[in-house]
Every structure is written in C-alpha cells, then in structure tokens.
Copies of this chain bind each other. A is one copy, B any other.
Amino acid sequence: MLNQQIVLAARPHGMVKSGDMALHSAQVPNLQVGQLLVKNQFLSVDPAIRYWLNAGTTYIRGVEFDEPVRCFAAGEVVASRNDEYSVGQWVTGLLGAQEYAISDGVGLARCDPTDGPLSQHLGVLGMPGMTAYFGLLDKGQPQAGEVIFVSGAAGVVGTTVGQIAKIKGCRVIGSAGSDEKCRYLVEAGFDAAFNYKTEDTDAALKRLAPGGVHIYFDNVGGDTLDAALLNLARGARVVICGALSQYNESAYAGPKNYMKILTARGILTGLIVFDYAAQWPAAVRELAGWLREGKVSTREVIEPGLSSFPDALVKLYQGGTFGKLLVSV
C-alpha cells in the first residue's frame, strides 16, 4: 500500500518556504508486534513545526531529510498488533505529515468521540487547548476581577486562554494582527481586542488596562513582550507560552524591560504542556463541557488535501489565517 508524505527537502533558514518540503511516496511497511496503523484524517499546522525543522534543538531532535515533517495529526486506527488499540479508535499524536502512520502507541492519545468532532481533538480538545488550560490556570492562577492580556489571541491557544479567563471572572484583552481577527475576538467573548499593527501595544494597554495587567499570556515575544512588561500590575504573572514573532529569527530578542518584573513584584514563568500529561483527560472533559455550554468556542480553517500542507505552514507564519489551521488528508 502506498503512503503519500510531505517530507523535509531543504533545511529552512529564516522564514520557512514551501520549497523546503516535498511530496513523496513510500510503501507502508508491514506491522510488527506492538505496532498499529493510523489513517490520518487531519494534520495540525502549528507554530512549533518550524522549530522542529531546525537541525537540532534542546528538547527534541530535528526532522531529518526525506523524513515526514513532524506534526500532530488525528486519525483512525485501521490495523493493530497492539493490545491497547483496536481498529476504529480515534487517536492523536505526532503522527507526521502523511496519509498513514505507524506507531507503537507511545505518546498517542485516545480521543473520546462524545467530547467533540475529530478535528477539535487537535485544537481546543488537544495540545493547544491543554496549553491554554494549564498555562492559564496553573501558571497564571487567575483571580476574579483581574486583567488578562493575551497576545497572538486569534490562535486557538490565545482564544481559549481568553475564554477560560472569562469563565474565571477576569477582564480579557487580546491583541492580533488584523481588524478582522479583533472583531472575531470580541465575538468570542473578549472584553477588548486591538490590532497591534495599527496601534502601539504600550499605548493600547495604557488605554485598555490603565490599572495594569495581572496576567500576561505571551504567545509572541519580541516587542509585544517588552510593551507588556511596561504595563504590569503589582504581583503580575508573565506566562511565556511561545515566541511566534521570533521562531524564524536566528537569535531571539530578549525582553529589555525585564527589570519591570521586580518593580511589579511579579514573576516570569512558562509552561511545557507535556508535563501535565497525567491531567489531560480531566482537562479535556472540562473543556468539552465548556464547548457544549458555548462558553468556549473554536474557529477552524481546513485546507483540503495533503499537498496543501507546505503552503498552509507558510500561511501560518504570514498571519493570513486564524483560528485552528488544519489540513484534511
């Protein structure tokens, strides 16, 4: 049986290009004992993919040439020689940009179809939702009445952070890169949103949060992080989740206003979502409940066909899309 794959063709430098990836066909090998075969239905197009395409990183190895591009995917088990998985089950995991993936089950998550459609298990019910949930609730420790600022807010993580913060009684401000995204955030329940491309972030925060920001949830780093540091309320928590503005840069810009952490009597911290793996099932259940009640919502953009994956990844960094970006296989 033939397996279509999107593989790494050239090591990207700076901004990733679609030509760094190529479509490739390979034979699906026979299953060994302990393995299962997943037919991928959705590929998740996430910021971290660019990071994994580097030659080597601190906590995960880089993707090799002619290897499928590493990404999360959701699919159905179509064959199994692993006692813990049976045909017909829904699973998600780092299954790669390909039609079929062989797995030994390690790192795979089983999805409960009653929680929501398969695609949502890659978004609000998957890693992005978990990142929002534990990043905000465990690292941010939101208290009712506090002000939360979320950058990159139109992504699944950002929108979900804002919506959970609303459930906890906070005032929520988001920033995004277009007026359309800002309108979407207000519809999604944010108290305010501003377009960082047309309004200076420091000025916007002074306008929208004159008493300062109690939690800054940082998806972007760079100038936005520096502006947020100028606007911390006393006791603020800065939760570093990502640095979308920096992933395509060879060296990160450090937050030059980091001494504001002291004057605010604050802390800067961050999260590695995999540390919470044992608590994921309970968090998925709570998020599924909020989805059903309409307190949390999600926006999906689905690009059709495996071959659309390289362009979708480029589009992600260009900021032209928002919500959860998926490729249907």
Mark each residue of chain A from 250 to 292: 1 if its CB lies under 8 Å from any CB of chain B, else 0: 0111111111011101111111100100000000000000000
Asked if A30 is an interface residue, CB under 8 A from chain B, the answer is no
Of the four ranges (under 10, 10 to 19, 20 to 34, 35 or more), the interface on chain A belongs to: 20 to 34
Closest to A268 in B: B268
For the residues of A in contact with B, the DSSP-based class is loop
Report Cα–Cα, A9/B266, bound state, in Å.
36
Pair B240/A261 contact, Cβ less than 8 Å? yes
The answer to whether B254 touches A226 (Cβ under 8 A) is: yes
Residues of B contacting A240 in the complex (Cβ-Cβ under 8 angstroms): 258-259, 261-262
Q: Is the CB of A267 within 8 A of B265?
A: no
Contact B267 A271 (CB under 8 A): no
Alpha-carbon separation in the docked complex, A272 to B255 (Å): 20
Do the beta carbons of B263 and A258 come within 8 Å of each other? no
Q: A252–B259 contact, CB under 8 A?
A: yes
Whether A259 lies near B270 (C-beta < 8 A) is yes
Q: Is the CB of B258 within 8 A of A255?
A: yes
Residue of B nearest to A59 (CB): B263
CB–CB A263/B226 < 8 A:
no
Contact in complex: A261, B270 (CB < 8 Å): yes
Q: Are A269 and B268 in contact (CB under 8 A)?
A: yes
Q: Which of B58, B252, B265 is within 8 Å of A256, CB to CB?
A: B252
A to B CB contacts below 8 Å, 14 in the list: A58-B263, A240-B258, A240-B261, A240-B262, A243-B259, A252-B257, A254-B256, A255-B258, A258-B268, A263-B272, A265-B272, A265-B275, A267-B267, A268-B269
